[in-house]
Chain A
Amino acid sequence: MRSATLPYPSQLMAVGAMGRLFLDRNGKILAGTVGLIGLMHLLGRISTNIGSTAGTLAVMMVTTFDLAGIVILSLIFILRQANAEAPQSMNGSIGNGSSYPVAMMTLPVADGLLISAQMFFTALSMGVVILVTAGMGWLAFDKSGALITCQVGICLICFTLCLQAVCWSRIRGPLVKPFLCTVLMGFSLMGPSVTTILGHTFTQFIELYVGLTLASIPLAVIGFRTARHGYPPKIDIDVATKAGQRREVPKLVPFKSKLQTLLWSDRRRHGQAAIWVTGFFCFSFSLITLLIHWNTLGTYGTPQDNIGDRAEWLIGLVIMSCFLLGSAPRRVDLFMPDRRINPFLATRPLSGTDVTRSLFVCSARTGLISWALLVLTLFAWCSLHAPSSPFGLRAGSLEFNFQSQQQILLTATAVAWLLVLIWNALTLLLTAEISGNGAIGMSFVATLAVIAVQASVQHNADPHSAIPYELFTVILWAALGSKLILAGVAAANGITRGLFRGREVILTFGVWLAAAVVMLAAKNACCPPMLFSSAQLTPGMILTIPLARIFVAPISLEWNRHQ
């Protein structure tokens, strides 16, 4: 599987862009880390694929240092030319021989596209990008290939416009930045995981990127609208008054309720939480995938490829770790022992139920928004493969994994489950925030670690050895039991303290039960047994629906607010 080659340049691109977005100490650390990782990548890959490595470095340099990037770009084009004149080296680097001609061809094309996009980044020449990408498609394939690569070029322009809107405008809105960060991360991190898990070919992977980019267009619109209307430019009040230019403060529509006010104010915090959690999921997925596929990585190619693939995965994990640490400085604060509820919020006339309700509604909304992007991508991906689609011209020459509607349904279910998992994790983190108890957040990390190890053991172990499998099943059911017990105890305690009424408890439990039933019905309808059996999936899925922490949150809020 050579699909790991393209994601890393894009990861570096995302990391570089994140460094720009977070222009603080963390951003600088991130930029430094990018340089170090890029150098390691360069040294590791230089013997096998000069073009790919140079492309990676170029993307990294361009996104981190614009001016330097222009110089590097020139050098890269020279290198690409030299590489193009030696096709045998390219064959050797890919290692898949003639059985994967498309992958072989797309590798330099993809590098070229990214480079072209970066050209636009620095020179702002959209026409050049379209022409170059289309030309490369023409040269690499045929007319239809030119059409595809031209589309990719346009999508990359949209994406970079979106980036431009955030990086260089005065947008500092609570919504756009986290949203864009989520896009970036989904763009860079989810790619390799999804691709590897589902076994996509390299060209399909590009199409996935196209879908992601298409999905980012609405974000670009939001970005520009926000830049134009949402946040007026800052005026030095003294200067403006002297010059007689003082503007009227916009008359804002008052919030109708406390809940609406809280939701508005929590948006930023939740955006950050979404970034952190989404990134953490991507990281966990990659880790799980690495553990599962450790023995099969690189088996299609030479021994050098095998080593190279593993090294890339490991480097990828380091990159992702740095990405998460750099992009989510606020989340790290979560684990500080003296974290308390903000006194500004604590001195507002809010009940524990008000705060908790807003936290959960907001986390649900943020989770939905974050993951709607992925769902859009999948739809875009599916539409690309529809028989009537102009992009379907090349479908016959590619190997597809989604061969039936059931498999598409399965993927959609998996995505929906991911969405619920994200919501779960968000609410967990927010509960930890209001309770000031970092151990709650850490328990989530521990759970994922257990799943990763379990997945690895189960996949690689002797099928006749059932002990780890059975043990994991028991752990899951025990966790579900303890969750229900904790929820019951917390609910009773909350009623005793007067934090909520019996009717609210029954309503919450009813919603939880309905969500569980829907989820299990969906699982039974369209989810064939894969890695986990039904005995594991059932408690696993129910565990993802928050219940206990909904009842615990007002109690922990009361503890923290009235110490």
Chain B
Amino acid sequence: MNSIVQLDHVTRSFGSKLALNDVSLKVDQGTVLGLVGENGSGKTTILKHVLGLLKPNTGTVSVFGMDPARQPVPVLAQIGYLSEEDILPGWMRGYELQRYMQGFYPTWDQEYADQLAKEFRLDLYAKLSTLSKGQRARAGLMAALAYRPPLIVLDEPSSGLDPIVRHDILSVIVRTIAEEGRTVILSSHHLAEVDRLADNVALVKNGEIALYDALDTLKEEHITCTLVYEKANFSMPIFKGLVSISGSGREWTALSKGTPELLREEAERLGARVIDQRSASLDEIFVGYSRPTHGASR
């Protein structure tokens, strides 16, 4: 499969703060990459490198085989970008925004734009500054999708929006991906969205990629379970494959990486029983990796 986006050992710092540390990512054509991580972990910084708004201190960024900072015009012509910040020019009206975007993108599909506006019930006469946050987000998505870019970059597209707007936005993205098979990089706090959309997930933690794999593989490899001891155990159980653990006394809830057999063997070694064993959800994986492991061995 062709790689649309490729980051190789990218390091970037702002003054003394290290924002990205040796980040390597690859996004294949037609796949959806979900970027998850805590606030300030470096998700937006990665996206800005993809857009060419930031240059790496070391390492290389390649989008469509080009450096987006050195060749912004051909790269940006193929990217649809929806920012978490409200960056739309507030003085424009909806139909003026359409006209404006039309000028930059020869592939602009006016029928599709009208269709999206109708679906979103966008008031195209209103100035963008007078629209609600949800309506502005919808307008931003319309502007990002209507020229049918091969790569869509969504930075927290539904941050701070109500469930109805989130549903609208998600539906359109799902449909776009399903019908046209476009490449998407999605950064989001809403793990349910990522769970629904993403083929691959990258967990960003303190400027590093803590975890990067296919979503299905991640779910298969991670197990959530409860360890039960015969007697109360006041020291934290540490075993092979452990990602995170919480609890006290007889019952401990753990996230582990590995096979169920390995988990059972390790539990027996510790003198505990495994109950409630199941595949971990993305939410549990995210929380598990984000929380300190207290020296647990992996």
CB of B95 within 8 A of CB of A234, answer no
How far is B47's CA from A343's CA once the two chains are assembled, in angstroms? 13
A238 to chain B: closest residue by CB: B121
Asked whether any CB of chain A lies closer than 8 Å to the CB of B179, the reply is no
* Nearest CB of chain A from residue B280's CB, rounded to whole Å: 36
Whether B73 contacts A349 by the Cβ 8 Å rule is yes
Of all chain A residues, the one with the shortest Cβ separation from B130 is A234
Inter-chain contact A234/B126, CB cutoff 8 Å: yes
Q: Which residues of A contact B91 (CB under 8 A)?
A: 172, 174, 268
Chain A stretch 513-563: residues in CB contact (< 8 A) with chain B: 561-563
- Cβ B104 vs Cβ A348 within 8 A: yes
**Across the interface, which residues of B come within 8 angstroms of A351, CB to CB?**
72-73
Contact between chains at B53 and A347 (CB < 8 Å): yes
Query: 1/0 per position for B57-99, CB-CB distance to A under 8 A?
Result: 0000000000001001111110101010101110110111011
Q: A459 an interface residue at 8 Å Cβ cutoff?
A: no
A238 to B91, CA, bound (A): 22
A348 and B76 in contact, given A237-B121, A257-B103 (Cβ under 8 angstroms): yes
**Complex Cα distance A329/B94, Å?**
25
Q: In the complex where A237-B123, A351-B73 touch, is A343 in contact with B89 (Cβ < 8 A)?
A: no
In the complex with contacts A562-B53, A562-B55, A563-B55, A349-B76 CB distance below 8 A: yes
- Find out whether the CB atom of B76 lies under 8 angstroms from the CB atom of A347: yes
Q: How far is the CA of A347 from the CA of B123 in the complex (A)?
A: 25
Contact status B52-A349, CB under 8 Å = no
B53–A265 CB distance below 8 A:
no
Q: Which of A334-361 contact B (CB under 8 A)?
A: 342-344, 346-351
Structural contact, A342 and B73, CB atoms closer than 8 A: no
Contact B100–A343 (Cβ < 8 Å): no
Q: Is B234 an interface residue (CB 8 A)?
A: no
Measured in the bound complex, the distance between the Cα atoms of B81 and A538 in whole Å is 50
B177 at the interface (CB under 8 A from A): no
Choose one: B72, B85, B92; the contact of A343 (CB below 8 Å): B85
Flag whether B102 is at the interface (Cβ < 8 A): yes
* A172-B123 CB under 8 A given contacts A261-B100, A265-B100: no
Interface status of A250 (Cβ within 8 A of chain B): yes
Is A471 interfacial (CB-CB < 8 Å)?
no
Complex alpha-carbon distance, A249 and B118, angstroms: 11
A303 to B91, CA, bound (A): 53
B73 and A350: CB pair below 8 A?
yes
Q: Chain A, interface size: which category? A: 20 to 34
**Contact status B53-A346, CB under 8 Å:** yes
Q: How far is the CA of A172 from the CA of B121 in the complex (A)?
A: 23
Question: CB within 8 Å of A: which of B30-57?
Answer: 51-55
Contact of B127 with A by CB under 8 A? yes
* B54, B103, B126: residue with the most chain A Cβ atoms closer than 10 Å: B103
Contacts of B114 in A (CB 8 A): 249
Cα separation A348 to B92 with both chains bound (whole Å): 16
Contact, CB under 8 Å: B102 / A255: yes
Q: Decide if B172 is an interface residue (CB 8 Å cutoff).
A: no
Which residues of the other chain, B, contact A346 by a CB distance below 8 angstroms?
53
Contact at B77–A563, with CB atoms within 8 Å? no
- Separation in Å of the B134 CB from the closest CB of chain A? 14
* Residues of the A chain whose Cβ atoms lie less than 8 Å from the Cβ of B96: 252
Beta-carbon contact of A563 and B53 below 8 Å: yes
Chain B residues within an 8 Å CB radius of A260: 103
Q: Are B77 and A561 in contact (CB under 8 A)?
A: no
Question: Cβ of A235 < 8 Å from any Cβ of B?
Answer: yes
Query: How close is B146's CB to chain A, nearest CB, in angstroms?
Result: 13
Q: Which residues from chain A contact B102 at a C-beta distance below 8 Å?
A: 254-255
Tell me the dominant secondary structure on chain A's binding face.
loop
B54:A344 contact, CB within 8 angstroms:
no
Q: A172-B127, A264-B100 are in contact. Are A347 and B79 (CB under 8 A)?
A: yes
Give bound CA distance, A243 to B81, whole Å: 36
**Would B103 and A252 count as touching, CB distance under 8 A?**
no
Q: Is A561 within 8 A of B104, CB to CB?
A: no
The docked-state distance in angstroms from the alpha carbon of A260 to that of B72 is 20
| Across-interface contacts of A258 in B (CB, < 8 A) | 103-104
Contacts of A563 in B (CB 8 A): 53-55
Question: B165 — which chain A residues lie within 8 A by C-beta?
Answer: none
Residues of A contacting B127 with CB < 8 Å?
Answer: 172
Given the complex of chains A and B, what is the CA–CA distance between A254 and B99 in angstroms?
6
Interface positions of B from 161 to 192, Cβ below 8 Å from A:
none
Contact A562 B95 (CB under 8 A): no
A562 to B71, CA, bound (A): 11
From residue B13, how far is it (CB to closest CB) to chain A in Å? 12
B-chain residues with CB within 8 Å of residue A252 when the two chains form the complex: 95-96, 98-99
Contact indicator B104/A249 (Cβ below 8 Å): no
Residue of B nearest to A340 (CB): B53
For the complex formed, measure the closest distance between the CB of A399 and the CB atoms of chain B, giving whole angstroms: 49
- A390 in the interface (beta carbon within 8 A): no
A304 to B292, CA, bound (A): 81
Task: Kindly list chain A residues whose C-beta atoms are within 8 Å of the C-beta of B55.
Answer: 562-563
Q: Which chain B residues numbered 117 to 138 have a C-beta less than 8 Å away from chain A?
A: 121-127, 130
B52 touching A344 by the CB < 8 A rule?
no
A232 at the interface (CB under 8 A from B): yes
Q: A254-B99, A255-B99, A563-B54 are in contact. Are A344 and B87 (CB under 8 A)?
A: yes
Residue contact A254 to B123, C-beta cutoff 8 Å: no
What distance in Å separates the Cβ of A206 from its nearest Cβ neighbour in chain B?
A: 38
Give chain A residues whose Cβ lies under 8 Å from the Cβ of B98.
252
Give A257 to B105 CA distance when docked, in angstroms.
10
- Closest chain B residue to A562 by CB distance? B69
Query: Which of these, A174, A233, A235, A562, contacts B52 with CB under 8 Å?
Result: A562
Contact partners of B85 in chain A: CB under 8 A = 343
Question: For residue B99, which residues in chain A have a CB less than 8 angstroms away from its CB?
Answer: 252, 254-255
User: How far is A561 from B85 in the complex, measured between Cα atoms in Å?
Assistant: 17
Nearest residue, chain A, Cβ from B91: A268
A234 to chain B, nearest CB (A): 5
The 3 nearest A-B residue pairs measured at CB: A261-B103, A255-B103, A349-B77
A-B contact pairs, 11 of them (CB 8 A): A237-B121, A249-B95, A250-B95, A252-B98, A258-B103, A347-B76, A349-B76, A350-B72, A350-B73, A562-B55, A563-B53
Residues of B within 8 A of A (CB): 51-55, 69, 72-77, 79, 81, 83, 85, 87-89, 91-92, 94-96, 98-100, 102-105, 114, 121-127, 130
List 4 additional contacts besides A349-B105, A562-B69; criterion CB under 8 Å: A255-B99, A258-B103, A346-B53, A562-B55
